[in-house]
Structure 1
Amino acid sequence: MDLVLGSLGLDCGTRCCSLDSTEAKSKDTMAAFQLLFPLLASCVAASSPPSRHLPPCQVVQMDVFCSNLSLRSAPVNLPRGVQMLDLSRNQVQNLTRETLAYHTGFHHLNLHSNKIHFIQPGLFKDMTDLKVLDLSRNHLNVFSLSKINIGPLTAVESLDLSSNGLYTGMSDYFLADSPSLANLSLNSNSITKIAQNTFSGALSLTKISLHNNVILEIEDGAFDSLDRLTELDLSKNSITCITDFNLCNLKVLNLSKNSMELFQSTRSTDLYKLLRLDLSENKMLYFPLLPRKNMLEYLDVSRNQLQSINVTGNPEKNTNVFLNDLRYLDMSYNQLKSIPESFFYCMGSLEVLNVSNNCIGSFSITDERLLQTVKIINLSYNSLQSLTFGENALQSLEKLFLQGNDLTTLDHQIFQRLPSIKHLQLQQNNLEICALDQNHRGPPDCVSFSSIPNLQFLYLSENNLRTLPANAFANTPLKLLDLSLNPGLDMDKDSLSGLEYSLVHLLLRENNISSLNTDLSSLRSLKDVDLSTNHLTILPMWIKESSIESLNLQNNNLVTLEYSTMLALEHSLKTLYMGSNPLSCCSNLGFLHMVQHSAVVVPDIETVTCVHEEYSEPVNIEKVTQEMCHRSGIHNYIIVVVVIALLVMILLGLLVRCCHTRKRKHNRSFSA
């Protein structure tokens, strides 16, 4: 653009000189000059400095955003002193001084998602303020073939080289002279090996991400010189084992999604600062051998092939696991059959234990000194048949997940021993619920849910429950109760007694209920009721004004909705599901008026239909009017009157004929 402006300036100067040499000429010449005046004005305008405005880019103070504009280089009129330039998602191929409009004062340079395959040697030498350089999603593998270093990167602290097709050794040309580099991303490349000297030019690294490569080998000492390294992501690679883990200063290590069969640290007395270790989605058969002195808080060994929590796999050579600072332990989706209590002896800070989706048949915590701080235990989807908790064990437990097991018989007071329990999931088992008076008898084959002082969420769906006795939840402040998918459930009229001021959500879907004897209006805090997919022919009666805000009545056999019940619901109801019911159009005008004129929302309104005798197909309730029913009523009335008139005429005819016959008989007898 500068060259174009210069040529125009030279042409204008020449024209101006030729005009000055004609001052003494005739009026005709003056007329010619007047004709050329507009050209003179255009030349002056063309030779003026370019505008600082960048129409396609956004300028915010000293930051310029030119993303996704199909540019091949930065605009030449960048503001002086620009600190951040975003040229991402453009068409840049050659990265040179000219490409960057000869600016060197950048602090942040974003060039990701271009087509860069060449970088001018020494380009970044004079960029002494450059802290962040993003070169991700380019073609730097082509540049690497030239074996030229792009450095020095004197001040760069964060460098992103992800998704560039780089393979082993190519990253060296970008890291050779990076003394300040702290954060490095080499994600989604084709690196197969980490050599001893890979990071020798970037000794200040604190975070390295090598996610989604094909790393098979890590040479001994590859990370040893990085004294400041605290985070290392090696996830989604092809690493098969770690046998001598010795990075004492590392705080976060991610080895998930590899092919690891073994993880062992060195047998050192040094204190390891590792806080988070992710070994999920590997092929380990045994629990990892961790540093004896550690600060580990988070450990994930889920989705492996663990068959034993023994770190050696040999019962005769059992090695204690010292995890005194561990707060989160995930061993889900493995093949564990049992977990002895002794495993938890050195886990004094554990808060979350997840051993779901294993093959565990029994689980017990009887020693009150174990798992004193645990708040969540997930034992769902195992093969549990036995569950035992000691008298004063698990005093801090708040959530217990037991769904998807084979639990049939439990100590009927087992949950009363958990004073802090708030959330209990027991769906997909085979439990029976004790009545209140059963709690004081001998050992019954049922479980008590009364007098659990802090229990608020209870899930009992799919338990083959047959009866729900009176006062089943007395003195338990439930907010949510799920009794769904228990076909044939017989609820006592007082089964929900004691929940009058606590219960908010009640789920009773798919229970084959034909009528509900329980008075839901006594539940003063109830806001959400799900009665879908049952056999209800009438609505439960609400004697008092309702507090319900959401009601699901889908897939029932409702024909008529009692007007008094709908009036009781109308004041509080906000959401109503009514689809797939054989409603009568003209017998539910009160309900139709409420739907059409109140604030009640019917999310499935398109599937809510009713039957009208004048139409062969069901009618959507939004299209039903009182006039339709009024016309239907008049039509029916006329039909009835006509039928009655016909009957009267037929009767009269029969009477006349009968009288005539008798008269004829009478006359015959007289003449004889």
Structure 2
Amino acid sequence: MPGIRVLLYFGLVAVLPALCHPHTPCTLTQRTAICNSLRLSSVPSNLPQQIEELFLNQNIILKLQNGCLSRYPYLQTLSCANCLLNAVDEQVFSSSPLIESLNFAGNELHNEHKQFAQSLGSLTRLRILDLSGNGFTEDMVSELLQNLTSLEFLDLSGNVLLRLDEYTFRDLHQLKELNLERNILFEIDGAFDHLKKLKRLNLAFNSLPCLVKFEMTQLVVLNASHNLIEWFITNQNLTETFALETLDLSDNRLLYFPFLPTYNCIKTLLLPNNHIGFYSHLSQNTSSNWTNSVEFYNLGGNASNVTAELWSDDLHGDISSVELLDLSVNQVRYFPQGFLQKMPHLYWLRMRSNCLESLNLTGEDLPVTVYELDVSNNRLTELHAHSRSVSELNNLTHLNLSLNNIQKLPSRLFTTFPSLSIVDLSYNTVGLCHPKELRNSDSSACALWTNHSSLKQLHIAGCNLINIPPLAFDGTPLTYLDLSNNPDLHIGQDCLSGLSGTLQHLGLSNTGLQEFNFSPFKQLKFLNISKNLITELPKSLMTLNLKLLDLRDNMLSTFKPEHASVLAKRVQIAYINGNYFNCCQLEWYRTFEESKILHVADLLEVTCVDLHQRRLKAGLFDSILCGGRSTDESIFWYILLFISVGVSMVGVSVIYFLTFRPRLLPRVIKKKCWKPTTY
């Protein structure tokens, strides 16, 4: 977005060897002076006169006074971000006519904005201006931007702008990027009509209720996310092609699919977190109580000549160029007839968390170009596909069907997609078909996963799996398999045998696992066996070179010293907390702690159980407390022995003084208490 680019521009410094100047704490790099965070109270006056870039960010410069830049006539870039700056004199830039870039972000320049506006008037070459976070109102901004006809990049984010009109940016004929995010904008009345060169506009995080009669044909990127927008309607009467390529309307209150331009170039259409639905099923309602159109009014009460036919799904405009459509977290129950086919170049379709009740995975219902399809967390109960047309989706690579209620599907469905690489079927009620017992039927409660040469990742967590048939993945070179959260799963040694040469990531969390031979899986790098019933570390893990091992929430009491030594040399990252470690068998803890290869991410949180069944931090436990008797008794006898010895020594000392030194005590008392004092 515009603001991001401007900030990156101001932070750009040539990567060249730093030269130390004998009279300044600033870093000098050719013609750039970096004086950030030096607690300066004014502009340094002892820098080389030839500098072209001066960075004074994070200092305590309260005011830029006249003449403070007179030493630097070649200055082109000045950055004073976050300097507590509250005033700029009128003639500050009179001796720096070459300035093209100014960054005054994060200051308090609203206090003396009139003087600041006068100072900007002399900068005829100014192209980049960052005034974000200065508390400016729209009236102040109108004054500041007067006559800045050369400005191309403007950042006004983080101010207190409420309403924009045709006078706000009236002189900015060269403006290309404008950042207005994080203001309090609720109305825009013709503010951008004359910005004919504006390409990128950021209106995110404001309070705009709608964008109607949109006709900025030259705009390429529009970010209007995180507003209160209920309607987005373009001027349908324009025959000119809109240059818009990216439209972001996410996190708004859209009720209808946006009314896009009749002719456009939109490639990325972001609409997640709205209330969008389709209403063609209501179009035949003839009741007079239904409203068929709406009118829009601005703050002055003037009606806009925009009419929206509410129940027609034919007014979406041109969507033929869309490549990415994100409708996640909306209220879509179905797609209108032929809607998806209007997007012949669609590659990414994201429909997470909607209300879809049916889905046909065929080339007749989906564009054959679809690369990624995400319909997770919907209301799907059954998948439909026709073998004659499903093969047309030869571009489909990522398919996410998780968090539905799918119970039936064509058993050979997934093997018919020639490019399918990642499938997520987690949290559905779909089993694993036995390759040799498969029946020929259109719909089945299980899926076949054999001989799928393109499939690399398979997620079938939480599918209520009980058994995995032998050779269930034979001929399928999976590198990632997640079987987690199937608590009644019985994993035979031969059910994963076809994956021994390819599997790199295996998820077996919460599967009731007690023991398993992992030694055949030489390629395994990531193993999650947390939340199981493992009482002793499987010996087969000693043969693997794992990058990550998750052993959390099992029933381990200790690690054998030889196993701990092997893990410390072969594993890179481990998680082990939540087990029932014995506090008196923590030799492995020191081994893991001292290892330079193994990083136990939760080592400081690991607890152990002491002799009294209390959970203590393993790293703070003192092994001296381990023994046959209780800990409390041991401490008691130590204390009793210490007191006895002390009392005995005191008694012997008293007897010695009273017997052998009978006059010593009176002398000491007389010396301390009866010593004469002069008055």
Fold in common (TM above 0.5): yes
Tell me how far apart the structure 2 counterparts of residues 384 and 596 of structure 1 sit (CA, whole Å): 49
**Is it true that 1:110 corresponds to 2:79 in the alignment?**
yes
1:315-326 → structure 2 map (5 Å cutoff): 315-316=311-312, 318-319=314-315, 321-326=317-322
Give the number of equivalent residue pairs: 573
Point out where structure 1 has 5 or more consecutive residues left out of the alignment: 1-50, 630-672
Q: Which residue of 2 aligns with 1:524?
A: 522
Question: Of 347, 350, 353, which residue of structure 2 is paired with 1:354?
Answer: 350
Tell me how far apart the structure 1 counterparts of residues 268 and 398 of structure 2 sit (CA, whole Å): 19
Q: Which residue of 2 aligns with 1:395?
A: 394
Encode CA deviations 1:127-173: one digit per residue, 9 max, x unaligned: 33111011222233222357964303200100111112111221122
Tell me how far apart the structure 1 counterparts of residues 57 and 279 of structure 2 sit (CA, whole Å): 49
- What percent identity do the matched residue pairs reach? 29
Encode CA deviations 1:103-145: one digit per residue, 9 max, x unaligned: 3331001122234443333543453311101122223322235
Q: Which residue of 2 aligns with 1:274?
A: 244
Q: Which residue of 2 aligns with 1:533?
A: 531
Which amino acid letter does the alignment assign opposite residue 293 of structure 1? Answer: Y
The alignment partner of 2:140 has SS state of coil
**Is it true that 1:465 corresponds to 2:435 in the alignment?**
no
Moved more, 358-367 or 238-247: 358-367
Tell me how far apart the structure 2 counterparts of residues 84 and 598 of structure 1 sit (CA, whole Å): 48
Tell me how far apart the structure 2 counterparts of residues 376 and 148 of structure 1 sit (CA, whole Å): 51
Q: Which residue of 1 aligns with 2:655?
A: none
**Is it true that 1:162 corresponds to 2:146 in the alignment?**
no
**Is it true that 1:366 corresponds to 2:366 in the alignment?**
no
The 1:360/1:368 distance shift into structure 2, 3 A limit, reads closer
The alignment partner of 2:110 has SS state of helix
The 1:448/1:135 distance shift into structure 2, 3 A limit, reads same
Instruction: State the 1:349 CA deviation.
Output: 1.4
TM-score (norm 2): 0.76
Task: Tell whether the 8 Å contact from 2:109 to 2:116 is kept in structure 1 after alignment.
Answer: no
Question: Of 55, 68, 71, which residue of structure 1 is paired with 2:40?
Answer: 71
**Is it true that 1:136 corresponds to 2:105 in the alignment?**
yes
Moved more, 230-239 or 519-528: 519-528
1:211-290 → structure 2 map (5 Å cutoff): 211-220=181-190, 222-267=191-236, 268-290=238-260
**Is it true that 1:196 corresponds to 2:161 in the alignment?**
no
Tell me how far apart the structure 1 counterparts of residues 525 and 469 of structure 2 sit (CA, whole Å): 23
**Is it true that 1:88 corresponds to 2:86 in the alignment?**
no
Q: Which residue of 1 aligns with 2:474?
A: 474
The alignment partner of 2:232 has SS state of strand
Q: Which residue of 2 aligns with 1:384?
A: 380
Tell me how far apart the structure 2 counterparts of residues 495 and 622 of structure 1 sit (CA, whole Å): 43
Which amino acid letter does the alignment assign opposite residue 406 of structure 2? Answer: L
The alignment partner of 1:416 has SS state of helix
The 1:122/1:316 distance shift into structure 2, 3 A limit, reads same
1:494-505 → structure 2 map (5 Å cutoff): 494-505=494-505
The 1:76/1:249 distance shift into structure 2, 3 A limit, reads same
Question: Of 375, 379, 382, which residue of structure 1 is paired with 2:371?
Answer: 375
The 1:414/1:62 distance shift into structure 2, 3 A limit, reads same
Which amino acid letter does the alignment assign opposite residue 376 of structure 1? Answer: E
Which amino acid letter does the alignment assign opposite residue 62 of structure 1? Answer: R
What RMSD over aligned residues (CA atoms) do the two structures have, in Å?
A: 3.6
Instruction: State the 1:501 CA deviation.
Output: 1.0
Task: Tell whether the 8 Å contact from 2:98 to 2:123 is kept in structure 1 after alignment.
Answer: no
The alignment partner of 1:140 has SS state of coil
TM-score (norm 1): 0.76
The 1:537/1:88 distance shift into structure 2, 3 A limit, reads closer
Instruction: State the 1:229 CA deviation.
Output: 1.0
Task: Tell whether the 8 Å contact from 2:330 to 2:353 is kept in structure 1 after alignment.
Answer: yes
The alignment partner of 1:455 has SS state of coil
Instruction: State the 1:456 CA deviation.
Output: 1.0
Task: Tell whether the 8 Å contact from 1:88 to 1:112 is kept in structure 2 after alignment.
Answer: yes
Q: Which residue of 2 aligns with 1:446?
A: 446
Task: Tell whether the 8 Å contact from 2:346 to 2:367 is kept in structure 1 after alignment.
Answer: yes
The 1:135/1:549 distance shift into structure 2, 3 A limit, reads closer
Tell me how far apart the structure 1 counterparts of residues 41 and 595 of structure 2 sit (CA, whole Å): 60
Moved more, 94-103 or 267-276: 94-103
Point out where structure 2 has 5 or more consecutive residues left out of the alignment: 1-19, 281-306, 628-679
**Is it true that 1:291 corresponds to 2:290 in the alignment?**
no
Q: Which residue of 2 aligns with 1:174?
A: 144
Q: Which residue of 2 aligns with 1:432?
A: 431
Question: Of 265, 270, 275, which residue of structure 2 is paired with 1:305?
Answer: 275
Instruction: State the 1:99 CA deviation.
Output: 2.8
Instruction: State the 1:444 CA deviation.
Output: 3.7
Encode CA deviations 1:62-108: one digit per residue, 9 max, x unaligned: 22222333433212223222211222333333333323355333100
The 1:205/1:584 distance shift into structure 2, 3 A limit, reads closer
Which amino acid letter does the alignment assign opposite residue 100 of structure 2? Answer: K
Tell me how far apart the structure 2 counterparts of residues 410 and 278 of structure 1 sit (CA, whole Å): 35
Task: Tell whether the 8 Å contact from 1:352 to 1:375 is kept in structure 2 after alignment.
Answer: yes
Which amino acid letter does the alignment assign opposite residue 135 of structure 1? Answer: F
Instruction: State the 1:612 CA deviation.
Output: 9.8
